[in-house]
Amino acid sequence: MADAESVVTEPRDAPTINEHVLHDYIAGAIGGMAGIIVGHPFDTTKVQLQTQLHDKRYSGTISAALNINKTGWVHGFFRGMSTPLLSYGVVNSVYFGVYGNTLKFLEDDREMRKSSYLNIYLAGCAGGAAQLIPVIPTDYVKVVLQSQIPRDAADSGKQKAFKGPLDCIRHIVKHHGIRGLYKGGVAMAWRDVPSYGLYGLTYEVLSHWMKTSGWSDSRGVIADLVAGGCAGTITWASIIPFDVVKSRFQADFIGEYSGLIDCAVKSYKEEGFGVFYRGCLITCLRAFPVNAVTFLMYSQSMKYLESS
């Protein structure tokens, strides 16, 4: 395994700014869109579990999935996917673009891509901060649509369900202005900036170890899949409480919570500490395949782009 000072990723020809600066952005977009398609059904189940009220609880992950399945794949598991499918290509493009180019900027040895653990973590944090601008409104609309899948017959009759992303956006902007689309942004900043540093660091270290220890194939596909999946799972497991509070606050359209702290306090008083880890299982199950595919497509796309 790499020493405590640094990790060396694959050798590359030294890129010029004009020639290769966009490669991370393009590869990130490809990886992000592939990951969304794989993981959206898991994400919908997670949001349903996190936003359920204390008096209308699912008995577990399978119970939530079976209920969602009643509404069909399009209106159920893939509800609200059109917005993230289009925009998460941009979101991941921003993250990987900023991450890759920040890492290149921080590197001393550009030919061998020798990077300290600190540089990798800082580059990940920079990418996580940059992607907040496009991801917050996208995530908000997605959570609102996913949370409005009826849980029972009573919900179907009284709950207002938006027809789709545009209907939801129009309603939010009409009542709260453009700033309304950034509801829950503070929680997402606390969640994403440090966690994306951990995300990039976990992938780089594990991928490098597998490739140098002979635990991968010649193209590094196995290492990309395993390292990407583990990076996603470890990162999500570490930030579930932030995600639960964010989702519950964003899904609140009746003004039950005055803010994030109020949401956390009321959730704890009503349902105990366990509420902050609701949806953890489905989130981790989702994280592995989504991030395995995302990093595989990103890494292999980068190889193609930089060899052409």
Whether the predicted pLDDT of 23 surpasses 60: yes
Query: For residue 200, is it within any domain?
Result: yes
Query: For residue 296, is it within any domain?
Result: yes
Q: What are phi and psi of 306, to 5 degrees?
A: -85, -10
Query: For residue 232, is it within any domain?
Result: yes
pLDDT tens string 222-244: 999 999 999 999 999 999 999 99
Query: For residue 53, is it within any domain?
Result: yes
Query: For residue 198, is it within any domain?
Result: yes
Is the pLDDT higher at 267 or at 165? 267
**Number of separate domains in the chain:** 1
pLDDT tens string 243-281: 999 989 998 888 889 999 999 999 999 999 999 998 888
Give me the domain span that covers residue 56. Answer: 6-307
Q: 63 pairs with which residues across the strands?
A: none
Query: For residue 303, is it within any domain?
Result: yes
Please report which confidence band the pLDDT of residue 75 belongs to, taking 50, 70 and 90 as the band edges. Answer: low
Could you tell me the CA-to-CA distances from 56 to 20, 151, 199, 247, 299 in Å, in that order? 52, 8, 34, 17, 43
Whether the predicted pLDDT of 59 surpasses 90: no
Is the pLDDT higher at 286 or at 97? 97
Please report which confidence band the pLDDT of residue 160 belongs to, taking 50, 70 and 90 as the band edges. Answer: low
Query: For residue 1, is it within any domain?
Result: no
Which positions ≥6 away from 196 have C-beta within 8 Å? 95, 99, 124, 125, 127, 128, 131, 235
Whether the predicted pLDDT of 306 surpasses 50: yes
Q: What is the CATH number of the domain that holds 250?
A: 1.50.40.10
Whether the predicted pLDDT of 194 surpasses 90: yes
Query: For residue 108, is it within any domain?
Result: yes
Q: 54 pairs with which residues across the strands?
A: none
